[in-house]
A and B are shown apart, each in its own frame.
Chain A
Amino acid sequence: MTQVTSQPTKITTIDARGPRFSAGITVILLATALATQSPWVLAIQAIVFAIGALRGPQFTPYAFIFRTLVRPRLKGAAPTEDVRPPQFAQSVGLLFTLIALAGSLSGISAIFIIATSFAFAAAFLNAAFDFCLGCEVYLLLLRLR
């Protein structure tokens, strides 16, 4: 993820393994938030999602861990991907964590649990199955228009 290159079409590409590694840490954070029902743990994840959604997934603390500790240990050519699909996934994650935090603030724990569970499910699918949220969800959202 250190080599953020600009292609002729001005599409930023990043190491495709970075977002998947970040999803792994996200799984742990969200599971902790669910197990402890702590809005503070979720708030940390919400901040990470916000950085990933607004600045880009290559700027999150998780991406920094990947770049400094994980990537130097990986062998083989780095598969690259367009930065927009993981950025979209971060935005969806941010949306669900904000809904969960709003539920927690208003004292409705069911909203906290359900919204956090959706974000947890998406992060788990991403980490374990290389699930592409943008592929599956974006077109359906457009079709609703």
Chain B
Amino acid sequence: MRKTTRVNSLTPIAIVLVLASAYGFWYKNSRGKIRKVEKPAEGAFNAEILGEDLGVRATLVQFSSAFCTPCRATKALLQNVVAEMPDVRHIDIDAEAHLDLVRKLDIRSTPTTLFLDSRGVEVGRAVGAPRRDQVLDALSALQ
């Protein structure tokens, strides 16, 4: 009788550990990866939509929020990357203040970074903090 109770009470712990671990490995693996976007939700971005001028060659549009630790690191990284590239611009957008845009683009978490080409069309998207080499690779593909 007592043994049954203990087994029952350990079941939720076991279930959570299995499910959370599976999610955790997926989370670690997927965050920061830059995925190619074939069919962008928005035709082409312009300064009117984003509030800032786009880069001549490419633009990195980052969506950030208040309760987001990696947003700070991502902002610092992207600002640092574009500092050496006069034809690429970084725009940091407060997701909370642009919920219409967030819904339209189906942005679910922060940081999310859109990679725009010279026409302002989204060609790539990174959910989570990308690494420097991933950003440089994605940018070098945009000429």
Choose among A116, A129, A138 the residue that contacts B24 (Cβ–Cβ < 8 A). Answer: A129
| Size category of the binding interface on chain A | 35 or more
Contact of B28 with A121 in the complex, beta carbons under 8 Å: no
The answer to whether B109 and A136 touch across the interface, beta carbons within 8 angstroms, is yes
Task: From the candidates A82, A120, A132, name the one contacting B16 in the complex (CB within 8 A).
Answer: A120
Partner of B102, one of A86, A87, A143: A143
A104 interface contact, C-beta 8 A:
no
The dominant DSSP class at the A interface is helix
Inter-chain CA distance A135–B19, complex, in Å, is 20
A113 at the interface (CB under 8 A from B): yes
How far is A42 from B24 in the complex, measured between Cα atoms in Å?
Answer: 24
A66 at the A/B interface (Cβ < 8 Å)? no
Q: Is B107 an interface residue (CB 8 A)?
A: yes
- Is the beta-carbon distance between A139 and B110 smaller than 8 angstroms? yes
Q: How large is the interface on B (under 10, 10 to 19, 20 to 34, 35 or more residues)?
A: 35 or more
Known: A125-B23, A128-B24, A136-B109. A88 touches B67 (CB 8 A): yes
Known: A31-B13, A139-B109. A134 touches B24 (CB 8 A): no
B68 at the interface (CB under 8 A from A): yes
Tell yes or no: A117 within 8 A of B by CB: yes
Q: How far is the CB of A36 from chain B (nearest CB, A)?
A: 7
- Quick one: CB contact mask for B101-143 with A, threshold 8 Å, 1 for yes? 0110001111100000000000000001000000000000000
Does A74 belong to the interface (CB within 8 Å)?
Answer: no
Contacts of B103 in A (CB 8 A): 143
Shortest Cβ gap from B97 to chain A (Å) = 10
Q: List 4 extra interface pairs beyond A34-B13, A129-B27, A135-B65, CB under 8 A.
A: A36-B9, A82-B66, A87-B67, A124-B20
By a beta-carbon cutoff of 8 Å, the part of chain B in contact with chain A is: 6, 9-10, 12-13, 15-17, 19-21, 23-25, 27-28, 65-72, 95-96, 99, 102-103, 107-111, 128
